[in-house]
Amino acid sequence: MVEDIVADEGLEELSALGHEVQELVRASCKARDHAYCPYSQFSVGAAVKMSSGDLYTGCNIENSAYPVSLCAERTAIAKAVSEGNTNISAIAVTAILEPNKTFVFPCGSCRQFITEFAKDKDVPIYLAKPDLKNIYVTSIKKLLPHGFHF
């Protein structure tokens, strides 16, 4: 299962990852096609696998008033939560940062949002570029080791 895979942080070829992870990454890439980003042209897609087995996707949604824009990760998680799924088992994010073509990591707000629904698990995070050749594998506790809990 996806939630059982928290590999060491680093690069992996997509083909070396399990079928469920490949499906998750491909879903995040497809979600990127729906990004609404008329201002930055920076499209991001995300896919979140819940402990129920359900998969939800989201894209970034920009607004001319930038602070009310939504990141792809939070869009996907909000879709899941609005359907009653509140326990994340894995998340994939596809984007590319020009001009140096680096991997794109979740922003601080998204890291906290993921932490809220990780339920104290070290949820794996798969970061992809649109070519889906190499995947950067990390986890929420590596990106936000001391998230806020009330």
Show pLDDT as tens, one digit a residue, over the chain (150 residues).
444 444 567 999 999 999 999 999 999 999 999 999 999 999 999 999 999 999 999 999 999 999 999 999 999 999 999 999 999 999 999 998 887 788 999 999 999 999 999 999 999 999 999 999 999 999 999 999 999 988
Domain coordinates in residue numbering, the chain: 2-143
Measured CA to CA, the distance from residue 59 to residue 4 in angstroms comes to 26
Q: Per the annotation, does 65 bind a ligand?
A: yes
Q: Which two tokens stand for residue 62?
A: 């920009």
Q: Per CATH, is 2-143 categorized as 3.40.140.10?
A: yes
pLDDT digits (tens, 9 = 90+) for 54-95: 999 999 999 999 999 999 999 999 999 999 999 999 999 999
Cβ–Cβ under 8 Å, residues 55 and 24:
yes
Which DSSP state fits 107? P
Angle at 20 (CA atoms; ends 1, 114), nearest 5 degrees: 75
> Would you name the residues annotated as active-site residues?
73
Q: Per the annotation, does 88 bind a ligand?
A: no
Global pTM value? 0.93
Find, among 9, 8, 106, 129, the residue nearest to 48 by Cα.
106
